[in-house]
Amino acid sequence: MTPGMEHDLMRLLHGELPADEARVLRARVFREPELAETYRRLEQTWHGLSLPPASPIPPGFTGRVMAHVRTQAGSGSLSWSAAPGWVRATAAAALVTGAVLGIGVGRTLPAPRGDTDSGAETSQTFLSATAETSLADSYWSLIEDATAADAETEAQP
């Protein structure tokens, strides 16, 4: 039995063969025991597949759907899932371009030197600290420093 013939038998079983081809194949199945056996096996497999009947339509289903639809129509809000593909693609492209540009600019611009601003100093400390310790540790140490500074300010008369 060739796979091609089995495909044809399956199509016969599913009513997918053109009428004239189906007639010819049915006649062969009737005559040839091997074909008949394969067909019977396919039929058994196919009809052996059964599932319980689907649940009935829940009462008020249309009403519930329409209530949501009206809310959606009334709000007129744009959701990403509802937006056309090109809008989503453009937004994603803009996001990626922005991120790439940001990284590029950050890498090419020289680091500020001789800046005495305390905020810049803090950032420098933070950045140099991250190189040695983990980002989370540096973050927490910055918070602790800030909290300690606040406490000192509050303690002063």
Partner 1 sequence: MTTDSATSAAADPGWEALARVAAGDVEAFALLVESHQERLLRLCERLLGDAEESRDAAQEVFLKAFCKAGDVRPQGQVYTWLYRIAVNHCLNKLRRRRLVRFLRWDDPAEEAPAFDPPDGAADPAAVLEARRQWQMTRQAIARLPENQRLVLTLVRFEGLSYREVAEVLRITEGAVESRLFRAMRRIEAAQEAQRSGVSMKEARR
Region binding partner 1 by CB under 8 A among candidate stretches 28-36, 54-62, 107-115, 121-129: 54-62
Selected binder of partner 1 within 61, 93, 134, 135 (CB under 8 A): 61
84 near partner 1, judged by CB under 8 A: yes
65 near partner 1, judged by CB under 8 A: yes
Least separation in angstroms between CB 33 and partner 1? 19
Measured CA to CA, the distance from residue 156 to residue 54 in angstroms comes to 75
Task: CB nearer to partner 1: give 15 or 119.
Answer: 15
3-state secondary structure 79-106: CCCCCCHHHHHHHHHHHHHHHHHHHHHH
Selected binder of partner 1 within 20, 31, 33, 49 (CB under 8 A): 49
Give the three-state DSSP class for 117.
coil
Burial 7-35 (b: 16+ CB within 10 A, else e): ebbbebeeeebeeeeeeebeeebeeeeeb
Contact criterion met (CB below 8 Å) for 38 and 1? yes
Task: CB nearer to partner 1: give 14 or 23.
Answer: 14
Query: Kindly report the CA angle at 146 between 143 and 147, in degrees rounded to 5?
Result: 85
Selected binder of partner 1 within 68, 128, 135, 137 (CB under 8 A): 68
Task: CB nearer to partner 1: give 3 or 33.
Answer: 3
Q: Where does this chain bind partner 1 (CB under 8 A)?
A: 3, 6-7, 10-11, 14, 16, 41-42, 45-46, 48-55, 57-58, 61-62, 64-66, 68-70, 72-73, 79, 81-82, 84
